[in-house]
Chain A
Amino acid sequence: MNNELIGLAVGLLLTLFVYSYIWGDNALYRLAVHVLVGVSAAYAAIVVVRQIMLPFYAELQADPNSLELASGLVPFVLGLLLVLKRLPRLAWLGTPTMAFLIGVGAAVALLGALQGTLLPQVTAVSASSPLVGLIVAVLTTFTLLSFTFRATPAPDQPWKRPWWQRIGQGILMITFGALFANVLNTSLVLLIERLSYFFSQITQLLS
């Protein structure tokens, strides 16, 4: 048996293990999940080492006097301090790194959202279909209003969700239904791809 066949058999078993969740949580499912998570984490670590650490080390050996390389030590040190977050007595040392990451990431994300999503989406409504644009705006407004829970109930009447919130809640439900259908389609695609792969491979093996 060649390596592809072994890989195919292991892949098939692991796939069946994952699908064993049909009968509930079982060891085969857990084994398959753990193998997936472990392999993914290990693969990511290997990728980081190969793609980040080794190239930086190679460059440092090639030109140790480079100031640009020396500046690279700052994120390296910050990265090491971030590891100390696992130690309760030294966790405070990784706090600056965390603050730096969160602060910069939030700022970049916020700026990107404004420049790449909010303004383009607002300005992208074409004049050719104002109704669509109005419907989109109204539905978006009702959706946002559905997340407001401020209300003044009547003295003798039970509290009822306002109508505009109900509209927004309906819009959300339709969106979630569409997403769920897409997830179902994705799942079917994955299963189809796995079945196609296995049948093609098995067919090839048998042929």
Chain B
Amino acid sequence: MSEAIICKSCQAANPLGSKFCNNCGERLPPATTILCPHCRKPNPSHHLYCDHCGKRMVGEKLPDAPKTEEPKPSREMFSLPARPPGMTTPIGPEHVPEWKKDAEPENAAYSLEEIAPLQKSTGELPAWLVENIDSSGPAFEPPKEITTDYFQELLQAAESHSKPNHAREMAQAQIEADLPDWLQDVVPATGALSEKPDSALFFSSGGQGEEAPQPAATTPPVSAPSARTLPDEWLFDLETDNAEEEGSSIADWGQPKADAEFPDWLLDFAGQAQDSGGKPTAGTDQGEADYSGVFKMSEFGEKVFGGTDLPDWLGEEETTTEPDSVPVSRIFQSPEFAQEVRQTLDSGPPDWFLVEDVPDEEEQGEEATAVAPEGALAEDGVPDWLNELGPAYTSQLSPPVLSPEDEQGIPAWLGDLAAPATAVPQPPALDEEEEALFALPGLDDAEMALPNWLGELTLPALQKTESDQPADEVEEEDESDAVLQESFAAEQEPASSDLEWLNELLAPGPEALTAEPTPLPKAETAVPPPPSFSDDVEPGSDWSAVVAASLDQGAPSPAVPEPVAESPDELFDLFDEGLSLGEAEEAEIPEWLTQLGLPPTDSESRTYESDADAEAQALMTDDLPEWIASLRPDLREASKPSAGLMTAAPLLADDYGEMQDELEGAVLPDWLADAAPAVPGARLDVAEPAASIPEWLQFKKQGESESLFGSDVGDLAAELTDLLQALPPAGDPADELVKAVLPDWLQALKPKELSEEWHAPQPEQPVQQYGALSGIRGVLEIEPVMAIPREAGPVLTPFVVNPDQQQQASLLRQIQASLQEQARTITLTQATVLSPLARTLITLLLFITLLLGLFGPNLQRPPVASASVTKAHAALTAAAGRTVLVAFEYTPAMSAELAPQAALLLQQLRQNGSTILSVSQYAAGLEMAHSSSHEELPSLGFIPGEAIGLRELGGCLRAGLACNELAGKTLSAQTRAQLADVALLIVLTGERTSLVNWIEQVGTPGNLTMVAGVTQALAPVALPYVASGQLTGVVGGLADTAVYAQLSNAPDQTAVRQLNAQHLGQILALLILLGGGMVTLVGQKKVS
């Protein structure tokens, strides 16, 4: 691709970065560029490499930014401070607790365990470390300290030294042994390695499991390693592992390769050793290169401090390591490890790392290198905290002496680490007793289980006879030991003050110690030979003799006999026997050392029986330096701020599992012996365990148990399991947080509203004053429905009233008021006051008038008979001799008007000889008939049902004799005959309905002659029926009655007089009406 920008207008090429065309001035399109991920400068898009920095831009992945690991949720419970705010102690040097001061001595460096104290499980470890753990392996029991089984394993491993797998396993175990505690704890959790690998495993691997270990005679004498010689022996393992892979024998372990690259500072160490009279490392001819072959420290440092390269042997190991082994190289290659080490060193290098006893290392020379595996293994057998303390202290005993040239070659960081050691005074010279102490025989590989610095202290107790050792080897050992002692004595002159604690350790029985080692019988003093790693290895000097010589400045170390072990069991027995000491030697062994695996004897127990506890207490409390005492696990845990949290937090199952792993095989001093009953561990595998050794620390013999801890482990596991089961189930931490007890000062700050006892103040409610709920507060009043508008209606425009409308409204109100006043005047005054008097007057006037008409003269002329009355009279006359049915349909109320008619008609019927058959639909009708006729008349009785009853009666009248029953009553034959003979029907009634029903239901249907005697009011109703012929005649009222009486020549003229009175009454009524009308008219005129 071209780097020019083509102009669209003129097609001219323009250089990159041009905005306008150089030819035509046209704006150029912006060129597409990419930014270099390294230098952040633009480059053409087609470039693969940056023009500015030359690095690849495409496909390059930028280094990830350092990730800040988020703190993982811890299982520690949340705890609030127990002191309220404001009561905290100010932070200052004077306020630092004493324990913290003790735990932080000057120039004391934190170990990795202190840095990562809470990393107890693989889940809290970096992935790079977890993934190297082979979970498929057997159970791992990390502490392999001071156990004879471990040495036995080493011996067994020596049988298969030619097999790379075994070597790698050993190397792996060594690596783990040197790992900090928090890293070691991880391994057993995953079961990467077995705590006590079965011997058969070693022997059978590679098809040589049946092979017996090499005879002790062929085992080269192993000189005691010195932990002060190298920073750490585990690095030797790495080298040996590498050597194995290259086909070298096990004897080449610890022997550096000829072409290996060594860091300068290691070379410097070697140079100093030579300068100080030391000789090259045994087993190699390279002298200085021997140390450099251990590991390439410079590269390691480079790796740790930013480098990326690794030594070849590490790289090769990575490629050749089998999957089941721990890839050590990956550990060092990983940036996490580098960062972790860097952080550790920033806060102070660990104690073990401060050991830079170059002169001593140089003195030991090839012995140290040759026994590097053993030394490493010995360190593995020491408790980790002691393992850390030992080198730190021994570093004080053997400060490195560096030349200015060497100091220049040493990295700065390493120089800082070595600086404090140089200031440590040399250890004081020992007296004869002390020399005798260090001259004890019995030094063998078993002492390798102890740290080097501790091994120095145990040398006298572990010294063995040299009866069985070959002469040449003894000589070589003596020679080398002498050299070491000389160099040690020459270079290390610790001050007496610094070795006071050590002197006190030896103080209990200096007189009991013999200056010369007491030769023991061969059977008793036979010490298990050190692992015969290779026949080619030159026997080294006994490191105990070296230490003794260093203390005695040239005292020859006793020759160490070389025991012969035919089998691991035999080797084990030999080791036990070798640990049998004389009384003098036993007296010199401090109790805490016996707890580390040395079998005490009866005499020892007797010697220390009296003041053993006091001495141990004094040793571990008062006499130990404070910073050492503070580093004890319990004190360190207590001194840590998180210790309280850890104890306060409930232990989970994982924690117990980790505790079990920690306790298994742990060799604890006296101050930890107090915890023995709680954690019954394994017993020391000694012939006769002393009473001073805790039972739980006494090991069983190999034959007694299959594993190191035997069945006790199972018991312990069972106990722990039971304990775990007895524990309440681990609940949700959130729930436990809720249940946490708040301190008082925090409770005091709790708002009252959140307390359960708090109740919101209720507003004062009015007391109900009435009703059934009177006296009760808070009664809701009935809401007046009409008082509260339910919904807001539309806003009405105000009505505007003009003046004219106001005037009209006032006038209307005046009119309305005046009308109401007038109405009241009329109704209340005149009508109510005058009426009773008028009524009374009218009544009296009426009475008088009527009386005058009855008893007064007849003022009227005789009335003229009407046609209806005449026809009625004729009908009665025509019905003479026949049955006349007379219906009395009136009550006593109407009897005054109808009774005269009834009497007059009945009298005529009697006169005509007619049969009168009475009937009535009124209850009182028959009684009216009786009162009118003054005799008992034949009767049909009471006929109920009005029109219905009358219709039935009409049917009977039509049926004649066939009608047997009427109104529910059986008609007699006479009655049926009378009914059949009825010629006239007379209805006397004052009711229209009765008259009409008789006409419609009986008269008209039966076509009977019907005469009606009605009141004068009903006369107008009856006359139309007369006109229609349905009624023959009508006698209506008093006037017709009077006329009918004249027609019938009745003797009683009562009806005439009554009619005269009626007329007078009518006149009076007319006058009253007219008078009343006139008064009303007069009154209205007055009002108007």
Binding site for B on A (CB under 8 A): 19, 22-24, 36, 40, 43-48, 51-52, 55-56, 59, 68, 72, 75, 104-105, 108-109, 112-113, 115-117, 120-121, 123-124, 126, 175, 178-179, 182-186, 188-196, 199
Complex contacts, B1012 vs chain A, CB 8 Å: none
Cβ contact within 8 Å between B1038 and A55: no
A192 CB contact (under 8 Å) in B922, B969, B1058: B1058
Complex contacts, A113 vs chain B, CB 8 Å: 996, 1000
Cβ contact within 8 Å between A192 and B947: no
Chain B positions 1003-1028 with a Cβ under 8 Å from a chain A Cβ: 1003-1005, 1015-1020, 1024-1025, 1027-1028
- Chain B count of residues within 8 A CB distance of the other chain: 68
A75 to B949, CA, bound (A): 13
Cβ contact within 8 Å between B896 and A193: yes
What distance in Å separates the Cβ of B313 from its nearest Cβ neighbour in chain A?
117
Cβ contact within 8 Å between A189 and B968: no
B927 CB contact (under 8 Å) in A36, A43, A120, A121: A43
- Enumerate 25 A-B pairs (CB-CB under 8 Å) in ascending A order: A36-B893, A40-B892, A40-B924, A48-B942, A51-B926, A52-B942, A52-B967, A52-B968, A105-B945, A105-B947, A105-B948, A112-B1001, A113-B996, A115-B1005, A117-B996, A117-B1000, A123-B1028, A126-B1027, A179-B1020, A182-B1015, A185-B1038, A188-B1061, A189-B1062, A192-B854, A199-B854
What distance in Å separates the Cβ of A25 from its nearest Cβ neighbour in chain B?
12
| Residue of A whose beta carbon sits closest to that of B855 | A199
A104 to B896, CA, bound (A): 34
Cβ contact within 8 Å between B942 and A192: no
The dominant DSSP class at the B interface is helix
Cβ contact within 8 Å between B1062 and A24: no
Cβ contact within 8 Å between B968 and A120: no
For A36, A108, A194, the residue with the greatest tally of chain B CB atoms inside 10 Å of its CB is A108
What distance in Å separates the Cβ of A134 from its nearest Cβ neighbour in chain B?
15
What distance in Å separates the Cβ of B754 from its nearest Cβ neighbour in chain A?
64
A184 to B927, CA, bound (A): 26
Cβ contact within 8 Å between A185 and B1037: yes
Cβ contact within 8 Å between A192 and B1062: yes
- Segment of B106-114, B456-464, B598-606, B845-853 engaged in the interface with chain A: B845-853
A151 to B900, CA, bound (A): 51
| Any A CB within 8 A of the CB of B32 | no
Chain B positions 910-950 with a Cβ under 8 Å from a chain A Cβ: 922-924, 926-927, 941-942, 944-948
What distance in Å separates the Cβ of A87 from its nearest Cβ neighbour in chain B?
23
| Residue of A whose beta carbon sits closest to that of B948 | A108
| Any A CB within 8 A of the CB of B622 | no
- Segment of B37-45, B160-168, B370-378, B836-844 engaged in the interface with chain A: B836-844
Chain B positions 252-292 with a Cβ under 8 Å from a chain A Cβ: none
Q: How many A-B contacts if CB must be within 8 Å?
A: 175
Complex contacts, B997 vs chain A, CB 8 Å: 109, 112
Chain B positions 611-631 with a Cβ under 8 Å from a chain A Cβ: none
Given contacts A188-B850, A188-B1065, A195-B850, contact A52 B944 (CB under 8 A): yes
What distance in Å separates the Cβ of A206 from its nearest Cβ neighbour in chain B?
13
Given contacts A23-B840, A56-B968, A115-B1004, contact A48 B1015 (CB under 8 A): no
| Any A CB within 8 A of the CB of B204 | no
| Residue of B whose beta carbon sits closest to that of A21 | B839
Cβ contact within 8 Å between A22 and B840: yes
What distance in Å separates the Cβ of A185 from its nearest Cβ neighbour in chain B?
5
| Any A CB within 8 A of the CB of B951 | yes
A120 to B1025, CA, bound (A): 8
Complex contacts, A56 vs chain B, CB 8 Å: 968-969
Q: Which 9 pairs from chain A and chain B are nearest by CB?
A: A116-B1000, A124-B1028, A112-B1000, A44-B923, A182-B1017, A193-B896, A47-B923, A51-B942, A188-B1065
Given contacts A48-B923, A108-B1001, A116-B1030, contact A189 B1016 (CB under 8 A): yes
Cβ contact within 8 Å between B851 and A195: yes
A123 to B1027, CA, bound (A): 11
A56 to B944, CA, bound (A): 14
Chain B positions 354-386 with a Cβ under 8 Å from a chain A Cβ: none
Cβ contact within 8 Å between B1017 and A185: yes
| Residue of B whose beta carbon sits closest to that of A112 | B1000
What distance in Å separates the Cβ of A140 from its nearest Cβ neighbour in chain B?
11
What distance in Å separates the Cβ of A36 from its nearest Cβ neighbour in chain B?
8
| Any A CB within 8 A of the CB of B1054 | yes
Cβ contact within 8 Å between A182 and B1020: yes
For A23, A124, A195, the residue with the greatest tally of chain B CB atoms inside 10 Å of its CB is A195
| Any A CB within 8 A of the CB of B633 | no
Complex contacts, B855 vs chain A, CB 8 Å: 199
Cβ contact within 8 Å between B1066 and A196: no
Cβ contact within 8 Å between B927 and A189: no
Cβ contact within 8 Å between A120 and B1028: yes
Given contacts A109-B947, A124-B1028, A192-B1058, contact A51 B941 (CB under 8 A): yes
A15 to B922, CA, bound (A): 23
Cβ contact within 8 Å between A117 and B1001: no
A179 to B774, CA, bound (A): 67
What distance in Å separates the Cβ of B152 from its nearest Cβ neighbour in chain A?
113
What distance in Å separates the Cβ of B847 from its nearest Cβ neighbour in chain A?
7
What distance in Å separates the Cβ of A34 from its nearest Cβ neighbour in chain B?
14
Complex contacts, B896 vs chain A, CB 8 Å: 189-190, 192-194
A116 CB contact (under 8 Å) in B892, B996, B1037, B1058: B996
What distance in Å separates the Cβ of A100 from its nearest Cβ neighbour in chain B?
10
Cβ contact within 8 Å between A22 and B1005: no
- Beyond A24-B836, A52-B967, A182-B1017, list 18 extra A-B contacts (CB 8 Å): A22-B839, A22-B840, A22-B843, A23-B839, A43-B923, A43-B927, A44-B922, A46-B923, A47-B923, A72-B968, A105-B947, A121-B1024, A123-B1028, A124-B1030, A126-B1027, A175-B1020, A185-B1066, A188-B1066
Complex contacts, B1001 vs chain A, CB 8 Å: 108, 112, 116
For A22, A186, A192, A193, the residue with the greatest tally of chain B CB atoms inside 10 Å of its CB is A192
What distance in Å separates the Cβ of A183 from its nearest Cβ neighbour in chain B?
5
Cβ contact within 8 Å between A55 and B897: no
Complex contacts, B990 vs chain A, CB 8 Å: 186
